[in-house]
Amino acid sequence: MLESIKEKIKDSKKIVFVTGAGISQESGIPTFRGKDGLWRNHDVMQLATIDAFYDHPKLVWEWYNERRRNIFSSKPNLGHKAIAELEKFVKVVVLTQNIDGLHQRAGSKEVLELHGSIVTIRCTNCDFKGQILTEFTEIPPLCKCGNILRPNVVWFGEFLPQDVWQQAIIHASRCDLMIVVGTSLVVSPANTLPIYAKENNATIIEINPENTMMSSYMDFSIKSTSVKALPELISIFRD
């Protein structure tokens, strides 16, 4: 890693991470776009919509059931663990688009889930909401009130949980270093977070093996996977 990046990182007081599917790719969880963007010949972007859920609840639930099974048997990787360990040295906040809970399982204390959680299930009609780790044998699963249950995630066309989003903007606006890891930055409003950081004159670093929509906007782009690049951050603070 360049000495100039190392200095910026070591001098920072508050690091905000913005993470996406790429950080969990090395835990065996597929990303959304590119070659991973198909499930049983369905474009996953078409499945992740509220319309798809109401039109084809069984199909969408089969997709979530399979993903829940995979996620529950996956483990945080060295990238998630490095972010959690950084808390020993500097204030860290994680703003994640991921719904897999792997940052929390790696030990990160302050994680804001912008797109909800696949662990939590809620009713489409009543106030029921709860963490359910067991597999649903009957799909779509039904609530005690008789209506369909859904994963507590944010689909296209739905608003992000407003309290979480407001907090995310505040953190992005008040950091001096933002590290954007494993996201294509094509989905709004999460892809506006680097803009809030830049307005505060924060340094922005991207970690991604590929170019993204905003690579040219970054102060530094590290073309690497998160498992390779993130553990290096710890060594900067240790040295």
Q: Say if CB 190 and CB 169 are below 8 A apart.
A: no
Q: What's the CA angle centered on 192, arms 188 and 195, to 5 degrees?
A: 165
* H helices, E strands: number in the chain: 10, 11
Pick from Zn ion, ligand BJW, none: which does 27 bind, CB < 5 to 8 A by kind? Answer: none
Piece of 18-26, 123-131, 165-173, 231-239 that binds ligand BJW (CB under 6 A): 18-26
Question: Is 115 a residue of the active site?
Answer: yes
Place of tokens 């007081």: 13
180 in Cβ contact with 18 (< 8 Å): yes
Report the length, in residues, of the chain: 239
Out of 9, 12, 15, 22, the only residue in the binding site for ligand BJW (CB under 6 A) is 22
Quick check: 115 and 153 in contact, CB under 8 A?
yes
Nearer CB in complex with ligand BJW: 120/173 = 120
- Between 47 and 123, whose beta carbon lies closer to ligand BJW? 47
CB 223 within 8 A of CB 208: yes
Q: Applying CB under 6 A, which part among 24-32, 86-94, 137-145, 164-172 lies near ligand BJW?
A: 24-32
Q: Give the shortest CB-157-to-ligand BJW separation in angstroms.
A: 5
Is the Cβ–Cβ distance between 164 and 115 less than 8 Å?
no
Is residue 181 a contact partner of residue 226, using CB atoms and an 8 Å limit?
yes
Q: Residues 132-151 vs Zn ion: string with x where CB under 5 A?
A: -----------x-x-x----
What distance in Å separates the CA atoms of residue 24 and residue 45, rounded to the nearest whole number? 18
102 is an interface residue for ligand BJW by CB under 6 A: no
Q: Where do we find the tokens 């690049």?
A: 229
Residue type, 189: P
Does residue 128 interact with Zn ion by CB under 5 A? Answer: yes
Q: Among 38, 126, 170, 195, which residue sits at the site for Zn ion (rule: CB under 5 A)?
A: 126
Q: Which stretch binds ligand BJW (CB under 6 A): 10-18, 119-127, 136-144, 203-211?
A: 203-211
- The residues that touch ligand BJW, with contacts defined as CB under 6 A, are 20-23, 25-26, 31-33, 48, 97, 99, 115, 153-159, 182-184, 186-189, 208-210, 212, 225-226
Active site residues: 115
- The residues that touch Zn ion, with contacts defined as CB under 5 A, are 123, 125-126, 128, 143, 145, 147
